[in-house]
Structure 1
Amino acid sequence: MKKVFLFLIIGTNWIQAQQIKLSEANKNYDNYAYIKAIDIYEKVVKKGYKSAELFEKLANSYYLNGEYKKAAEYFESLFSIGKPSNNEAYFKYSHCLKTLNKYREADEMMSLYINVISKRSEKDKLKNYLNEIKENSKNYIIKPTTISTHFSDYSPVYYNNCIYFTSAMDSASVVRLNHDWTGQNYTDIYIAKINKDTSLTYVGNFSKKINTKYNESSAIFTKDGKTIYFTRNNFLNGKKGKSSNKSTFVKIYKATLQDGEWQNITELPFNTNEASFAHPTLSPDEKTLYFASDMNGTHGHSDIYSVTINTDGSLGTPVNLGKTINTNGRESFPSIDSNGNLYFASDGHLGLGGLDLFVAKIKPDGSFEKPINLGDKMNTPFDDFGITFIDLSTGFFSSNREGGKGSDDIYFFKEIRCTKKISGILYDSTTNEPLNSTEISLLDNNRNEFTIITTDENGFYEFSIDCNNLYFLKIQKKDFESVEIELDSKVEKEQFNLFLNKEKIPLEVGTDLGKIF
């Protein structure tokens, strides 16, 4: 009897000891100190302690640090002994399973999640999304860059033949602290020069004025190079701001270049202490700023917003880009190409796993079309995000895909485009005479006009097009009927003679109306 009693005491003390450790781990977890929480949780697991809460928080801690395979291990443990406290566990586990190439099981988990949030249309998408991604996939050359380190390197931004990128590398230029979320150094902004062969040469720390002992990231410059927008922890003039629950989030700041130094560092007026504001990017005309935030009113964990930049430099009220772009998941790292199209990372739109890169083409009214996944070369089952362009087919992006040097690395990409020339003669269908000085517009599949040419004195026209896209030719000439012709570039034929009908046919005495009709 004494032995049994002693065993009960020892067993009770053991459980109490583990619960004390869990209490400390949970405190770290609630304060976003996930690396510290993981360390304690793992020790408790090794002692043989099991609970649904333990496995769920350990899985979430790994998930939020992009370690999806480790997260999958503990989500599996969670589901083997109970149910999660939050239905998002199904969503997260789905992404983790994709890193293990278990897409069928991943879709089953996503289906359970969708059942809970009651989105029938999303469940229908599960049937075809992988085929759609495959169809949309383009051919890319993707290469690692030499500036990647064993630390987290991400969010490259192209400006003036250089890449300005974010890194947690061990730099002696400023005092460095460890980030409790990741366990790595706080990040700074660094510079790398782009060589003629598109390789990168590390230059150094960007600016001691901009970089502090806390996090800086995601710099974007105005075209004249005199203004910078960037992300930083809530830290200005030596003071660290905190939210009502004592958390320090990130804000977007602005600085101007004066006498070769970055001065007048100010936070943007829509920032608050209660949410994160990050990853600014500018429209081609620099009249709109896009950014990511989890402020009140977001559809998910973070959404993409736009805000108008007025002529006097003041800012309007941020506007959520809506449910076409934003989901119940994470939308972040927006960037804009020279045509105004929006690129961003998301785990809410169906993809290959983790954060995937998407593009939403801009409409004439400034809104955006339905996002398209960039495909299975740019995206992997891991996190792919933070894209920037040298031109419309070449640039850099960041990823924590397998085979890299560290947790996040920077990669070069180049789209391999097949192009061919389409040409021909435009004729008057009645006289068979060539029609010169006639305007022909090349339209894309959405009827967006992006190239206009005029026929020469012989009625000759010529366009360069992508091999695998659908186009339309729109022809307009005074006294002739306007016409729109579908042009399938997959057809091998490259010579297309075109004919226009007269809008009105003059009638004379004796004209044979039967032939006219």
Structure 2
Amino acid sequence: MCLNVTAQEGKVREASENFDEYAFVNARDLYKRVAERGFTSPEILQKLGDAYYLTADYKEAAKWYGELFNNLEEGSSVSPEYYFRYAQSLKTLRQYDLADAQMEKFNKLNGDDTRAERYVAERDYLKEIEAQSGRYSVGRVDFNSELQDFGPSFYGERLVFSSNRESRTGDYIHHWNEQPFLDLFVVDVPRDKFPKVERLAEKVNTPYHESTSVFTESGDVIYFTRNNYTKKKKLKRDEQGTTKLKLYRSERVNGEWITPVELPFNSDEFSTAHPALSPNEDILYFASDRPGTKGLSDLWMVTINDDGTYGEPVNLGGDINTEGRETFPFISSDNKLFYGSDGHLGLGGLDIFVTQLESDGSIGNSYNVGKPVNSSADDFGLILSEERGTGYFASNRATGLGNDDIYSFVRKKKLLTDCAQNITGVTMDVKTDEILPQATVELRNIANEVVGTKISDNAGRFSFPDVDCNTSYIVRASKSSYEPAEAIVNTTSEVGLVLNRDLYLKPPLKVELGDDLAKTLELNPIYFDFDKHNIRPDAALELEKVIAVMTEYPSLKIDVRSHTDSRAPDAYNMSLSQRRNISTIKYIVEQGGISKTRLTGRGYGETQLTNACGNGIECTEEEHQLNRRSEFIIVAK
């Protein structure tokens, strides 16, 4: 709460000087003065805590909120919001156990608040897909064939992909589709039409299937998929006579690829395929139907140790894997996992999904990448250069040249991951509803840490795009000479949702000569016992606020005016109000150390009623109460 005392009309220079001197009475200082003099109440402690909390002084906020709860009388209560703010303040001090205890109380008092307990609603997947759609523009490439082309991977400035475009001599025909077996081919990243396409090294390709590769950043190591093809150039089969897929590794030495080596976690009894590397190249991701697989194929990971050995394969779990197919993983440089799935809800066939892999090992929610990358056909094998915003994927959509074709894409806008909602609002003056431009707006997480800062524009608008879903945020606005304002925003599970939270800042309370300080400070009524004029403890607390202001601004002079209601003889009320006026002034002088020369006053009895409740008029107690008041009128600056 602020107080701005101006000079008399016409005295411009003097007014300017007084503005500088008296510009703003700080609520924090006012309430702190009162508390330090031993006068506390829930109201005082709440406002003291708020004054520090809203200005990010959490150590002091925790102190005064702690005082609030420590001194709360049995049977008394405060708004649940104060348990939340106390917990927030404690978290910044790393007092997590005590903070958790406050959140438990908050939950009991306000259990339907999503800050206390979050419930994730079932998502509308078609709405999600629509929100994601249009973020990539898809184009054709000029190196597809009339057969199968898929599984693109980056190989420096070149592209490697799987294709069966060229038949080899002999009987090497895959009887499943009566087409040639797949090999790995390489092409320069297309800049011109009809680029030259070549097979990758003979040491990598065999007469049987090779597909889906990934290269290290240096380009000197390749991991790829191959049929279970032995050194003796024979296909091996499982107990049912099926040839499985395996992962192989090869190194380039002196410019030549050496004989590939089978990875140790392969098996003749299940398939292991479609490798992908983490940005640090210390984790290999792949698809497999090995024991422990939830569906037809799951995504797995295995660590690559410094000595070249491998850890034990780990299933990526139910956040990724379904009872259907999860396959063709790719990890972008910012650790997003793209993969194909027909188990997650999509547009049909295999769709491409994306999820964020967190540094702590946790996995975010999976989201469909939307149209036009996904379609009602099979769409899979996406790779992305995060830095360039370009990439490739494969699809068997009807518009292609062959069975599977490779398509290029350009990112127009980043995908929404972890739901990514948008918090917007306008900063305004709470008294006038006028726009407040150039206000500082902070976005804070549940731990009360600043995760984003914006300055509202000339229209007072601010926006925090791509915030996490199912998350609680605090949006706080501040501006010079205004009290900070904040709002709690609880995001939901709906992709792309825009949440509007306008923030209303409280302006400095301007006080002119003749204004009532009681209204400025929002004083509670100064109560006296019936037919008494002594100062009660609750009245003393209100008078301490007046003392604090007069102490802060030693040139202020106040005229104290005491009033009664009409429910006694006029002369008696005049005498009673005069005695109460004398007691009020005496308290301010003796208890506050305020010079008597700065105070004038008198009792007015029932001569200045604020309503029609005069003699003989039947009124409610509340109506009579409006007339039993004390005024503190500013008569000098």
Aligned to 1:362: 357
Q: Which amino acid aligns with 1:156?
A: P
Change (3 A) 1:201 1:246: same
Change (3 A) 1:473 1:235: farther
Q: Which amino acid aligns with 1:330?
A: R
Q: Which amino acid aligns with 2:392?
A: F
**CA distance, structure 2, for counterparts of residue 223 and residue 513 of structure 1:** 72
**CA distance, structure 1, for counterparts of residue 452 and residue 308 of structure 2:** 35
Aligned to 1:323: 318
Greater mean alpha carbon deviation, residues 276-285 or residues 384-393? 384-393
Q: Report if aligned partners of 1:194, 1:200 keep a CA contact under 8 Å in 2.
A: no
Q: Report if aligned partners of 2:294, 2:323 keep a CA contact under 8 Å in 1.
A: yes
Paired positions, count: 363
Q: Report if aligned partners of 2:350, 2:379 keep a CA contact under 8 Å in 1.
A: yes
Secondary structure class of the residue paired with 1:369: coil
**CA distance, structure 2, for counterparts of residue 183 and residue 288 of structure 1:** 36
The equivalences for 1:258-407 within 5 A come to 258-391=253-386, 393-407=389-403
Q: Which amino acid aligns with 1:366?
A: G
Q: Which amino acid aligns with 1:237?
A: K
C-alpha displacement of 1:128: 3.6
Give the TM-score normalised by structure 2: 0.49
Among 240, 248, 252, the residue aligned to 2:247: 252
Greater mean alpha carbon deviation, residues 386-395 or residues 298-307? 386-395
Among 138, 163, 173, the residue aligned to 1:142: 138
**CA distance, structure 1, for counterparts of residue 551 and residue 159 of structure 2:** 70
The equivalences for 1:184-195 within 5 A come to 184-195=179-190
* Percent identity for Structure 1 against Structure 2: 38
Q: Report if aligned partners of 1:176, 1:185 keep a CA contact under 8 Å in 2.
A: no
**CA distance, structure 2, for counterparts of residue 141 and residue 267 of structure 1:** 38
Q: Report if aligned partners of 1:292, 1:302 keep a CA contact under 8 Å in 2.
A: yes
Change (3 A) 1:221 1:484: farther
C-alpha displacement of 1:219: 1.1
Secondary structure class of the residue paired with 1:138: coil
**CA distance, structure 2, for counterparts of residue 353 and residue 365 of structure 1:** 33
Q: Report if aligned partners of 1:469, 1:490 keep a CA contact under 8 Å in 2.
A: no
Among 226, 229, 233, the residue aligned to 2:227: 233
The equivalences for 1:160-239 within 5 A come to 160-171=156-167, 177-196=172-191, 201-239=195-233
C-alpha displacement of 1:264: 4.3
C-alpha displacement of 1:442: 10
Secondary structure class of the residue paired with 1:156: strand
Deviation string 1:65-88 (CA, Å, 9 cap, x unpaired) is: xxxxxxxxxxxxxxxxxxxxxxxx
Q: Report if aligned partners of 2:167, 2:180 keep a CA contact under 8 Å in 1.
A: no
Secondary structure class of the residue paired with 2:286: strand
The equivalences for 1:425-436 within 5 A come to none
Q: Report if aligned partners of 2:215, 2:223 keep a CA contact under 8 Å in 1.
A: yes
Greater mean alpha carbon deviation, residues 360-369 or residues 156-165? 360-369
Change (3 A) 1:465 1:182: same
**CA distance, structure 2, for counterparts of residue 211 and residue 168 of structure 1:** 12
Q: Which amino acid aligns with 1:233?
A: N
Q: Report if aligned partners of 1:467, 1:490 keep a CA contact under 8 Å in 2.
A: no
Deviation string 1:350-408 (CA, Å, 9 cap, x unpaired) is: 11111111111122422211211111311111100001112363200000001111100
Q: Report if aligned partners of 1:418, 1:466 keep a CA contact under 8 Å in 2.
A: no
Change (3 A) 1:468 1:292: closer
Aligned to 2:531: none
C-alpha displacement of 1:140: 2.4
Q: Report if aligned partners of 1:417, 1:466 keep a CA contact under 8 Å in 2.
A: no
Aligned to 1:4: none
Change (3 A) 1:467 1:140: farther
Secondary structure class of the residue paired with 2:196: strand
Aligned to 1:414: 410
Q: Report if aligned partners of 2:146, 2:401 keep a CA contact under 8 Å in 1.
A: yes
Secondary structure class of the residue paired with 1:403: coil
Deviation string 1:444-498 (CA, Å, 9 cap, x unpaired) is: xx99x9998999xxxxxx99977999998999xxxxx9x999799999x9xx999
Change (3 A) 1:232 1:441: farther
Q: Which amino acid aligns with 2:145?
A: T
Q: Which amino acid aligns with 1:219?
A: S
C-alpha displacement of 1:285: 0.8
C-alpha displacement of 1:314: 0.7
Change (3 A) 1:326 1:487: closer
Q: Which amino acid aligns with 1:268?
A: L
Change (3 A) 1:497 1:128: closer
Larger Rg: 2
Change (3 A) 1:469 1:204: farther
Deviation string 1:180-201 (CA, Å, 9 cap, x unpaired) is: 122211000001111458x772
Aligned to 2:237: 242
Change (3 A) 1:295 1:467: closer
Secondary structure class of the residue paired with 1:290: strand
Which contiguous aligned blocks of 4+ residues in structure 1 show a shift greater than 4 angstroms?
440-443, 449-455, 462-475, 483-491, 496-499
Change (3 A) 1:316 1:441: farther
C-alpha displacement of 1:136: 2.9
Q: Report if aligned partners of 2:454, 2:463 keep a CA contact under 8 Å in 1.
A: no
C-alpha displacement of 1:296: 1.4
Q: Which amino acid aligns with 2:334?
A: N
Change (3 A) 1:344 1:418: closer
**CA distance, structure 2, for counterparts of residue 276 and residue 131 of structure 1:** 35
**CA distance, structure 2, for counterparts of residue 264 and residue 208 of structure 1:** 9
Aligned to 2:148: 152
Q: Report if aligned partners of 1:243, 1:274 keep a CA contact under 8 Å in 2.
A: yes
Secondary structure class of the residue paired with 1:236: coil
Q: Which amino acid aligns with 1:396?
A: Y
Q: Which amino acid aligns with 2:273?
A: A
**CA distance, structure 2, for counterparts of residue 418 and residue 514 of structure 1:** 58
**CA distance, structure 1, for counterparts of residue 127 and residue 503 of structure 2:** 36
Q: Report if aligned partners of 1:330, 1:348 keep a CA contact under 8 Å in 2.
A: yes
Deviation string 1:191-230 (CA, Å, 9 cap, x unpaired) is: 1111458x77233111111000000011111111121100
Q: Report if aligned partners of 1:227, 1:256 keep a CA contact under 8 Å in 2.
A: yes
C-alpha displacement of 1:256: 0.9
Deviation string 1:82-105 (CA, Å, 9 cap, x unpaired) is: xxxxxxxxxxxxxxxxxxxxxxxx
Q: Report if aligned partners of 1:293, 1:303 keep a CA contact under 8 Å in 2.
A: yes
Change (3 A) 1:384 1:158: same
Q: Report if aligned partners of 2:150, 2:162 keep a CA contact under 8 Å in 1.
A: yes
C-alpha displacement of 1:313: 1.4
Aligned to 1:98: none
Q: Which amino acid aligns with 1:151?
A: L
Q: Which amino acid aligns with 2:251?
A: T
Secondary structure class of the residue paired with 1:252: strand
Q: Report if aligned partners of 1:473, 1:484 keep a CA contact under 8 Å in 2.
A: yes
C-alpha displacement of 1:321: 0.8
Q: RMSD in angstroms over aligned alpha carbons? A: 4.8
Change (3 A) 1:200 1:165: farther
Aligned to 2:72: none
Secondary structure class of the residue paired with 1:130: helix
